[in-house]
Amino acid sequence: MTDFSRRAVVKGATALGAAGALTGPALLDWAKAWAQSAPWKPEKGAKLSMLRWKYFVQAEDDAFVKLIAAFTQATGVAVDISRESYEDVQPKASVAANTGTGPDLFWGLYSLPHLFPQKCVDVTDVADYLGKKYGGWVDSAVKYGKSGNKWIAIPICYSGALMNYRIEASKKAGFSKFPDKLDSFLEYTKAMKSQGTPGGFALGHASGDGNSWVHWCLWSHGGQSVDANDKVILNSPETAKALEYAKALYGNMITGTAAWNDSSNNKAFLSGDINWTNNGISIYVAAQNSAKAIAEDMDHAYFPVGVSGKPTELHVMYPTLIMTYTKFPQASKALLAYMLEADNFNPWMQSAKGYLTHCLNAYDKNPVWTADPKATPFRDVGKRTLTAGGLGSVGEKAATAIADFIIVDMFANYCTGRDDVKGSIATAERQLKRIYR
């Protein structure tokens, strides 16, 4: 592309959006053309700061840095990016909301904006702009993004929490494909342990890996924390069955999972200590770079389906909010819209190699989902996932329950023998009732 007029840049960029990244002068010229036509005009002298979760795929962060740099060059708005572990984003955002000072934008997890919805800038205009342009939002993203009738955050993406497993060990254990029902999955874990190739789920305070599997386990047995009216209904036979099932699984896991955080299972899988776990695609990406034999011998699958006959998965949502104390709301809105434009988001998603899954329907067609069949299952996690509140709302109360690891701790207490079924449920029930009172 040699003609860099605004019309030529926009036309060429659109054609390239799903095929590959604009780079160098082409990216900058596209960004400048976008800035000229965008509905949001940054305030004079605007400077932004964003706190995001710490990346798990280096190429994702590299692509992110490039698109932010082009935004700065095109608009003159400097953007300072800082990164924190999963567990640290929420407390830092809460402190900032309470004190009225800190980063302008927070890119966090699950229901983070709903912890302090009144402190989030109304971004309905950004959500409407993107939804109309890119085929609409998946239903779960709408639930995460809206509080009442307004959008308080922009759902950037999901990270799919799917089953990661070793192919040959599974075949040796008698499973030609990964089990898709609860009973067969339990038999699978027994067979894998008996032949010396066990797996493991995080039972420590792992915001992504821990929360995703215990909620799947609870929901797959018909248990729920709350009903559609946010009434606590945790104490049920279904919850007890979920705990018994989890303890049976725990008996087939490698030792030490009660202390695992979100990086522990990655390390254990790549070292060969475990042969199945739940995770994003980051294990596979890392294996492609440093353990090719493992990459060739692993694949991904959805969680087994439980009593409802439907998916009951919980995938990690990554929403971005703008704090009301920002001096630069227009610049902040411009940045969020810019991040999700096709010419940025498509190549960014490809750089993430499947670790990021879109919330806008148009991105189903991104080549990352078909170039490698091992990435394909991650394409649809936004459509499959339930939200953090289960049957209930996805507001401040659900956000608090997730952030406080109430369901994770309930499962850990029983699986490790710290408490019996009744005691584990009772403790979690009391905690939930304090939140949902």
pLDDT in tens, 295-318: 999 999 999 999 999 999 999 899
Per-residue pLDDT averaged across 322-350, rounded?
A: 96
Residue 397 inside a domain? The answer is: no
For position 12, what pLDDT does the model report? 34
Last residue of a domain, one of 380, 396, 420: 380
Per-residue pLDDT averaged across 48-76, rounded?
A: 94
Residue type present at position 367:
P
Residue 186 inside a domain? The answer is: yes
2/201 Cα distance (integer angstroms):
52
397/111 Cα distance (integer angstroms):
9
Q: What is the DSSP string of 2-22?
A: ---SHHHHHHHHHHHTTT---
The two structure tokens encoding residue 2:
């040699």
Residue type present at position 262:
D
* CA angle (415 as vertex; 412, 416 as ends), nearest 5: 80
For position 48, what pLDDT does the model report? 98
Please give the share of the chain, as a percent, with pLDDT higher than 70.
Answer: 95
Q: How many structural domains is the chain composed of?
A: 2
Per-residue confidence band for 56, with pLDDT thresholds at 50, 70 and 90? confident
Q: Given a cut of 50, is residue 6 above it in pLDDT? A: no
210/261 Cα distance (integer angstroms):
8
* CA angle (49 as vertex; 206, 79 as ends), nearest 5: 120
The two structure tokens encoding residue 325:
């104390």
Q: Given a cut of 80, is residue 264 above it in pLDDT? A: yes
Residue type present at position 139:
D
Helices then strands, counting H and E runs in the chain, come out as 20, 10
Q: Same domain, yes or no, for 288 and 415?
A: yes
Q: Given a cut of 70, is residue 16 above it in pLDDT? A: no
Burial class (CB in 10 A: 0-12, 13-18, 19+), 10: middle
Last residue of a domain, one of 339, 365, 380: 380
Per-residue pLDDT averaged across 382-404, rounded?
A: 92
Q: Give the CATH number of the domain where residue 86 resides.
A: 3.40.190.10
Q: Same domain, yes or no, for 183 and 272?
A: yes
Query: Could you tell me which of 308, 280, 290 has the C-alpha nearest to residue 375?
Result: 280
Q: Given a cut of 60, is residue 1 above it in pLDDT? A: no
Q: Given a cut of 50, is residue 7 above it in pLDDT? A: no
Cα end-to-end distance, the chain, whole Å: 60
pLDDT digits (tens, 9 = 90+) for 100-114: 999 999 999 988 999
Q: Given a cut of 80, is residue 130 above it in pLDDT? A: yes
What b/e string do you get for 24-51 counting C-beta neighbours within 10 Å, with b at 16 or more? Answer: eebbbbbbbbbbeebebebbeebbbbbb
Residue 361 inside a domain? The answer is: yes
pLDDT digits (tens, 9 = 90+) for 193-250: 999 999 999 999 998 899 999 999 999 999 999 999 999 999 999 999 999 999 999 9
Last residue of a domain, one of 380, 396, 413: 380
Identify the bridge partners of residue 300 per DSSP, sorted by sequence position: 164
Residue 385 inside a domain? The answer is: no
Task: State the chain's mean pLDDT as an integer.
Answer: 92
Per-residue confidence band for 23, with pLDDT thresholds at 50, 70 and 90? low
Q: Same domain, yes or no, for 277 and 294?
A: yes
Per-residue confidence band for 323, with pLDDT thresholds at 50, 70 and 90? very high
pTM of structure: 0.87
Q: Same domain, yes or no, for 200 and 309?
A: yes
Q: Same domain, yes or no, for 53 and 30?
A: yes
For position 343, what pLDDT does the model report? 92
For position 22, what pLDDT does the model report? 59
CA–centroid distance for 360 within its chain: 14
Q: Same domain, yes or no, for 371 and 412?
A: no
For position 27, what pLDDT does the model report? 83
255/268 Cα distance (integer angstroms):
11
Q: Same domain, yes or no, for 142 and 174?
A: no
In this structure, are residues 157 and 137 in contact, taking their beta carbons and an 8 Å threshold?
no
For position 20, what pLDDT does the model report? 47
- Domain coverage including residue 65: 20-158+315-380
Of residues 191 and 10, more confidence is placed in 191
Q: Same domain, yes or no, for 174 and 74?
A: no
What b/e string do you get for 131-168 counting C-beta neighbours within 10 Å, with b at 16 or more? Answer: beebeebbebbbbbbbbeeebbbbbbbbbbbbbbbbbe
Identify the bridge partners of residue 78 per DSSP, sorted by sequence position: 47
Per-residue pLDDT averaged across 41-47, rounded?
A: 97
In this structure, are residues 380 and 407 in contact, taking their beta carbons and an 8 Å threshold?
no
In this structure, are residues 161 and 213 in contact, taking their beta carbons and an 8 Å threshold?
yes
The C-alpha torsion from 342 through 343 and 346 to 352, rounded to 10°, is -130
Q: Same domain, yes or no, for 364 and 427?
A: no
The two structure tokens encoding residue 264:
């522990």
Q: Given a cut of 70, is residue 17 above it in pLDDT? A: no
Q: Same domain, yes or no, for 225 and 369?
A: no
In this structure, are residues 234 and 432 in contact, taking their beta carbons and an 8 Å threshold?
yes
- What percent of the chain is helix, strand and coil (3-state, nearest 5)? 50, 15, 35
Q: Same domain, yes or no, for 222 and 330?
A: no
Residue 387 inside a domain? The answer is: no
Residue 106 inside a domain? The answer is: yes
In this structure, are residues 356 and 157 in contact, taking their beta carbons and an 8 Å threshold?
yes
Per-residue confidence band for 399, with pLDDT thresholds at 50, 70 and 90? confident
Q: Same domain, yes or no, for 101 and 145?
A: yes
For position 21, what pLDDT does the model report? 52
Residue 202 inside a domain? The answer is: yes
For position 163, what pLDDT does the model report? 98
Per-residue confidence band for 57, with pLDDT thresholds at 50, 70 and 90? confident
Per-residue confidence band for 87, with pLDDT thresholds at 50, 70 and 90? confident
Please give the share of the chain, as a percent, with pLDDT higher than 90.
Answer: 88
70/229 Cα distance (integer angstroms):
46
Give the DSSP letter of residue 181. B
Residue type present at position 399:
A
For position 72, what pLDDT does the model report? 97
Residue 14 inside a domain? The answer is: no
Per-residue pLDDT averaged across 15-35, rounded?
A: 70
